[in-house]
Amino acid sequence: MRWASGTDTSADRVSRHDFWEEVHLVEGAMHDLALGRTFVAGMYACRPPGVPHGPWTSLDGVTMLVITCPAR
């Protein structure tokens, strides 16, 4: 998944999914507005179903490998 420079998901608010989600940042960076933390290339996240995350911004854009898997 790629986000262009200037991406801002604030209008979407906090996200929650009913599936597992793994994210590996390949290039660029994204900032979690709720946590006040920036995540950069090389970082990895694994989110179980229902875990709140985001909203996000990305000043210069970001490329991510996103893998999802249904909850059992």
Q: Per CATH, which fold does 2-70 belong to?
A: Jelly Rolls (2.60.120)
Asked whether 9 and 55 are in contact (CB, 8 A), the reply is yes
Please name the residues in contact with 35: beta carbons below 8 A apart, sequence gap of 6 or more: none
User: pTM (2 decimals)?
Assistant: 0.86
Per-residue pLDDT of the chain (72 residues), as tens digits, is 999 999 999 998 899 999 999 999 999 999 999 889 999 999 999 999 999 999 999 999 999 999 999 887
Whole-number pLDDT of residue 72 = 74
Backbone torsions φ then ψ of 46, nearest 5 degrees: -125, 120
Q: Are the C-beta atoms of 29 and 65 separated by less than 8 Å? A: no
Q: What is the pLDDT of residue 12?
A: 87
Q: Indicate the SS3 state at residue 12.
A: helix
Report how far residue 12's alpha carbon sits from residue 20's, in angstroms, rounded to the nearest whole number.
19
CA distance 55 to 42: 20
The per-residue pLDDT for 66 is: 97
pLDDT of residue 21: 95
Domain ranges of the chain: 2-70
